[in-house]
Structure 1
Amino acid sequence: MAAKVPLLKLNNGKTIPQLGLGTWKSRPNEVTQAVKDAIDIGYRHIDCAFVYGNEKEVGKAITQKIADGTVKRDDLFITSKLWNTFHRPDLVRGALKQTLKNLNLQYLDLYLIHCPQAYKEDGSIFPENESGKIIFSDVDYVDTWKAMEPLVGEGLVKSLGISNFNSKQVKRLLEHATVKPVVNQVECHPYLTQVRLKEFCESHGILITAYSPLGSPDRPWAQPGDPHLLDDPKLKAIADKIGKTVAQVLIRYQIDRGNIVIPKSVAKSRIASNFDVFDFKLSAEDIKLINSFNCNERFMPMKTSLGHKYHPFENDEF
C-alpha cells in the first residue's frame, strides 16, 4: 500500500512521501491507535509537533510498529517542529532532544520552525500576562535557524524546514541560511490556495506542505456560521461527478498541484478513506475551478500573536 504514495524530491536530494498523517488536535488517548492504524493502512509520513502535546503517544505507536516488524525506521518519514518558546539559540538543541526522547527516535527526517514569531522563554508554552495576552520574545528567527543548522551535520535531523512563513520571511531567511529549508508548511485549501506563495517558494526549490487541507472543521475556535469546506456545494458537485468524497477531492487537489498534504484524523475509516486518493486525478479544469474558490480565508489566523514583529499574516503578506 505504501508504495503507491508518490515521493517528492527535496532540494537536498532526499525524498518525502507526498501524503502524510497530521496529528494536531489528536488527543493523546486516541493518537497512538490512529498512528498504528495509519501505518497499517500504508502511511509512512507522520507529521508531529512538540506543542501538540502528544509526541510521546505518537512515539509509542511508531515504536510498536517497528517492533512488530510492520516497518523499519528507514521506511518512515517523521516530522516535528520547534515551538515558539524555544527559539532562543541556546534552547534549540534541548528542544530537539526532548522531541526525540518523546518520539523514542534517534533522528528526525524533518524539523521545522513552527512559526516565525518567538514567545517568552523559560515558562509556559503559552506565556501570558495578566490580561491574557501572549508575552513575546524578540529572538530573530534567522538566529534560531542558525542554531538549527548544525543539527543536520550531527545526524540528529535529516532536513530542515519552516512553517507559517510568508514570502518576505522566506526571502530573508534564504539570505542568511547555509542549510536551505526544504519545505514551508502552511495552511492551504481551496479558500486559501496559496498560489503566489507556492510559486515563490518553488522558485527557490522549497516545497509546500499543506496543513488543514480539509479546513480543520474541528478547530477549537470555530464559530457557528463559519465557512465549512466539507459542506461546500461546489466541491460536492465535483466529488459527486468523480464518485469520491469531498475530503478525497480536497486531498487530491493538493497532490495534483504538487504539494505535500497531511490530513488529520483519528478514525480508522477516515484515515483509510483519506489514503484512498491514488486511483483518480482531478482534471485541469477541475483544478482551475477549485482555484477560483480562493477568498484568502484563514482558518488559522494566529490571532493570539497579533502585534508580534514577525507575525506572518498581519500585513497582508503572501
Structure 2
Amino acid sequence: MSAGDGIEPFEGDDLQYSPTRLAGWLQEVNRPERVEPEHLTRAELAQLSPRELLIHNDGREVWHANIGPIHTPQLITLHEDLAEIVESNRHDGDKTKPAALVDAYPGLGKSTAVRAYGRRLYRKQVTLRGETTPAGDRRVPVIYIALSGNTQIRGLNASICRFYGLPVTGDADTLAERGSKSNAVRMANQLKYLSNVFPVTLIYVGVGVQQRGILREGFAREETLLAQFGRRTTPLTLRPFEVESEEGRLEWRTLLKTIERQLVLAEKSPGMLAEELSDYLYARSTGHFASLMSLINRGCLRAIRRGHERLDEDLMNQVKNDAAAEGARQELEAAIKAGLLTTRPASRPPLQTRSA
C-alpha cells in the first residue's frame, strides 16, 4: 500500500540502531523521550476502525518493549558511584584516570544502566562545552563499544575504529582464540596504554570479571601486571532484587508499582502487579530485572492480541520466559506456597489510582 491508495504510510515507533556505531549512539543520546500511547477504555477501543486499532496496538507493543530504564535504588546507586569516579577524573594529561568495572550477574540491566549514565553524561558535556571542539570537530565525550569474552587487542582496536567509522585493517579475531591469563595480561596492558595516551575514563561492564583474578595482586610477573590494573580500577555492581528483608520487599513493591503505572492496558487496575502478581512475578523472574521485564512485555503483548487487556496468572502462565528464570521457578514457588517466603512488605502504603 502507498499514499496513492489513499492510506497514509505508517512506519511505527521502532528505533533500529546500533549504539556501538557513532550514528546509532548519537541517535540514542539525542532521541526525545517516547510519548506514552493514549489509554483507551474497552469502549473506546471498540470504536476504532480496524486500521486505527492496528496502529494503536502497534504503538502499545513498542512502548511496552521499551519501558525503562527505571530508576530503581540499584540504578540510582550505580549512577552515583559512576559519577563519583568519572566526574572526579579531572586529572591533567600526565596522569592516568582511574577506571570503573561494573561486574554483576547476567540479566540485571548492567549495560542498560551504564548506557543511561553515558547518555546523561554525554548531554551534560555537550551542554557545557558545545557540540563542536575549538578545532571545529564534532565533540564526542562518550563512546560505547561491545566486546566478546574472547576479544583480543586487535579486536578491541577494531571496535573503536568501527565506532568512529574509521578503516579497519588486519584480520579479525579468529574463532579459535580463547582467553588465557597471558591474553588477560596483554589486554590489561592495552587498556592501560589507552588510558595513559588518551584523556579518557574507561568503564568496563562484565560478568564474573573479579572471579578471574584480574583485580587481585600477586607476586608472579603476570599477577603483578594485573595488580596494576586492579589498583586503577574500582569495582561496582548491581544487585538483584531480594525479598528476604523488609527493605527488599518494599523495593520490589515500588518497582512493580512503577512498572504498572507505565502499562497501557484497557483493564489495568491499581495493584494488578504490586498486589495480585507480586509473589508470582518474583518467582518467575527470580528478582532479575531483565527476566521480569521480558515476562511483563510478553504478557502485555499477549493481553493485547487476545483482547484480554490485563495481566493475571491465567494469562501469564501461557507466557514463556528465559531458561535461567524458569529453571529456578519451582523452588521459589514452593517456598512462597509453604509460607517460607513472601514479597509483601509488612507495612505497605496504600495504592493510588493513576490520574487521567
Bigger Rg over Cα: 2
Normalising by the residue count of structure 1, what TM-score does the alignment of the two structures yield?
0.28
The structure carrying a bigger strand percent of its residues is 1
The structure carrying a bigger helix percent of its residues is 2
Normalising by the residue count of structure 2, what TM-score does the alignment of the two structures yield?
0.25
